Amino acid sequence: MKTTIKSLLLLLLLVSPSLADRSTPDGAVNEFYQWYHQSSFEYRKKFTEAAPYFTEELYGLLREGFGQSPESDFWVDFDPFVNAQMDAQAISVGKPSSKGPGVAVVPVTPTYGRGGASNYEGDPIKVWVKQVGGEWRIANLVYSG
């Protein structure tokens, strides 16, 4: 069931024309989550591939945090892209809202669970994106709840 849901999500990402386009805020977020989905649990090992999706500042912080251990002062002990310590069954990317020239927020809602009736929707993640050199890049992830 988990593989079927992930396959359907990937198919949806691939067939939508605006999803692979970093010239729009939601296109950039969709393109990142497509990469994230394809990387699955290996995303931390492959994180250098994700550099184009992030501002230099956020990419540097994430890379540093992923490289640390629990004994360090600064480390990331959860998956910041779905705000959980478990895999998301699905990810819904919403419509962007402008926050000024070159800045927008795109809501991302993860669905957690083990499939079927156990699934539940998580709190939306506010993905702040910033225009850098004509492309939109993820600048921050803000969690609520």
Task: Give per-residue pLDDT as tens, 108-121.
Answer: 999 998 778 888 99
Give the residue from 24, 54, 37 showing the smallest Cα distance to 92.
37
Q: Is 27 left (phi over 0), alpha (psi -120 to 50) or beta?
A: alpha
pLDDT for position 16: 41
Instruction: For residues 7 and 64, give the distance between their C-alpha atoms in angstroms, rounded to a whole number.
Output: 31
Question: Could you tell me if 91 and 111 are in contact, meaning their C-beta atoms sit under 8 angstroms apart?
Answer: yes
Mean pLDDT, to the nearest integer, of 127-133?
Answer: 98
Give the residue from 115, 141, 117, 118 showing the smallest Cα distance to 128.
141
DSSP 31: H
Kindly list the domain boundaries of the chain, sorted by start residue.
2-143
Give the residue from 140, 145, 65, 57 showing the smallest Cα distance to 103.
140
Task: Give per-residue pLDDT as tens, 18-46.
Answer: 345 899 999 999 999 999 999 988 999 99
pLDDT for position 126: 98
> Going by DSSP bridges, is the β-strand pair 120-121/97-100 parallel, antiparallel, or unpaired?
unpaired
Q: Which CATH architecture has domain 2-143?
A: Roll (3.10)
| Contact partners, residue 16, CB within 8 Å, separation at least 6 | 30
Instruction: For residues 119 and 63, give the distance between their C-alpha atoms in angstroms, rounded to a whole number.
Output: 30
Task: Give per-residue pLDDT as tens, 55-92.
Answer: 999 999 999 999 887 777 777 889 999 999 888 889 99
Q: Which two tokens stand for residue 131?
A: 């225009």
Helix (H) or strand (E) holding 103: strand 103-112
